[in-house]
Amino acid sequence: MNIVALTRFIGNLATAVGFTAILFVVMPLFPQVSGTTWAVLLFGIAALGILAQLAAAVLRPKDAKAAWDEQSAASNRASYVFGYWCVMLVFLIFLAAVLAEALSAEAAFLWMSVPLALGPTSYMVWAFLKGRAG
Amino acid sequence: MTSLENRLREHRARAGLTQAALAERVEVSRKTINTVENGVFVPSTVLALKLAAALETSVENLFQLPETQ
């Protein structure tokens, strides 16, 4: 088992699931908690994932080389393309919502973080499960 | 997408290597060897040359364009 690839998978899964769970399940249950707290928590999860990958790469350099081979690099590039189109789609939906005054521009700006985080990470989770990353 | 026929699995088996052993020799993941063998992933020229060297054969023996092309 490639430790670096596994750490990357867990980090991406935690970010994807964590973002979704916190934004759509946990946040509505605790409306008294400030937005800053949630932001720190959300980006803390992503930062922990990055740090865990860095630590694994330093401890297992051979695994890091295999985990970032050309197929994984291609999947990683594809994840950003996927993320771009996710963001574009959500932007258009939010733009329509803001123009229709169904959503404030400030809220739309904050909610854009969801496709930004979920697009690439969910693609990499899929790539790992399909054997296309690490 | 360009299709590519390959005989990687056959040459690897002839060399008595597992996917993991070949992956270690060419410094990629086992999954990459698997997807190349199954025609899911088309390797770069560099990786094709590394695979050929590891299996002591030529790139042309490992990979060919389909005859219709």
- Please list the rounded mean pLDDT of every run of 10 residues in chain B (69 residues): 85 96 96 95 96 96 83
Q: Would residue B68 count as lying in a domain?
A: no
Largest CA distance in chain A: 54
Q: What is the nearest CA distance from B34 to chain A, expressed in angstroms?
A: 8
Q: Which residues of A touch B32 (CB under 8 A)?
A: 69-72
Does B40 contact A at CB distance below 8 Å?
yes
Q: What is the pLDDT of residues A7-20, one digit of tens each?
A: 999 999 988 888 88
Complex ipTM over 0.90: no
Q: Would residue B63 count as lying in a domain?
A: no
Name which of A2, A66, A71 is nearest B35 (Cβ-Cβ): A71
Chains A, B: CB contacts within 8 A come to: 39
- Which residue range forms the structural domain that includes residue B52? 5-57
pTM, full prediction: 0.85
Does B41 contact A at CB distance below 8 Å?
yes
Q: Would residue B65 count as lying in a domain?
A: no
Residues in chain A: 134
Bridge partners of residue B64, in order along the sequence: B5
| Number of domains present in the structure of chain B | 1
Burial (CB count within 10 angstroms: exposed 0-12, middle 13-18, buried 19+), residue A127: buried
CATH number (domain holding residue B48): 1.10.260.40
C-alpha dist (Å) from residue B40 to A47, A65, A80: 32, 21, 20
Interchain contact, A2 vs B41, CB within 8 Å: no
Which residue of chain B is at minimal alpha-carbon distance from A4?
B29
